[in-house]
Amino acid sequence: MSAEENKASLLRAVDELNKGNLGFIDEVFSPNFTLYTPTSPDWPRGLEGARKMLTQLRARIPDVHATVEDIFAEGDKVAIRWTFRGTYQGDAKPGFPKPGEPITIATISLYRFVNGKIEDDWGVDGLWQTGNAWG
């Protein structure tokens, strides 16, 4: 697959996520999917890990809407800078917003594609603010 096709696949995934449709997971993520993040070193691999990642996001922020700020593709990699906005509904715990508060998360992710599917996800844990901190 070309860099532009990989980029288009990721943009489609963002669009489906914004619609609340997680049915795209099997089409966009590889059965060998791996999430690399220091805060979750034992994250499950494969489609189970991809489903868990997106299901937890939608559970904590049911009305989440992702805005693509920048997206670049070269070779088998796609980099995206995006902003997530919504209403936090996760557990009340120190350092997190209160349930019902608006939240804005700014983050950058790098994806590696194999045969047109996301195989690797290197995400920077997002910087978040309650309210509309970044517009």
pLDDT digits (tens, 9 = 90+) for 61-115: 999 999 999 999 999 999 999 999 999 998 887 877 899 999 999 999 999 999 9
Rounded to whole angstroms, the Cα distance separating 65 from 62 reads 9
Instruction: Please tell me what DSSP assigns to residue 62.
Output: T
pLDDT at 52 over 90: yes
Are residues 78 and 71 in contact, defined by beta-carbon separation less than 8 angstroms? Answer: yes
Q: What is the pLDDT of residues 19-48, one digit of tens each?
A: 999 999 999 999 999 999 877 788 899 999
Nearest residue to 66 via CA among 74, 76, 58: 58
| Predicted pLDDT of residue 95 | 76
**DSSP-assigned beta bridge partners for residue 130:** 103
CATH topology of domain 3-130: Nuclear Transport Factor 2; Chain: A, (3.10.450)
pLDDT at 128 over 70: no
CA–CA dist 43, 65 (Å, integer): 24
Query: pLDDT confidence of 134, banded at 50, 70, 90?
Result: very low
* pLDDT for the residue numbered 127: 65
Sign of CA dihedral 17, 123, 30, 74: positive
User: What one-letter code names the amino acid at 88?
Assistant: Y
Confidence (pLDDT) at 1: 87
Q: What residues are paired with 66 via a beta bridge?
A: 84
Kindly write down the DSSP assignment for every residue of 93-110, as one continuous string. -TTSPPTT-EEEEEEEEE
Query: The pTM is what?
Result: 0.88
Helix axes 3-19, 46-60, angle to 10 degrees: 40
Out of 8-12, 39-43, 66-70, 131-135, pick the least confident.
131-135
Return the sign of the alpha-carbon dihedral for residues 49, 54, 55, 57.
positive
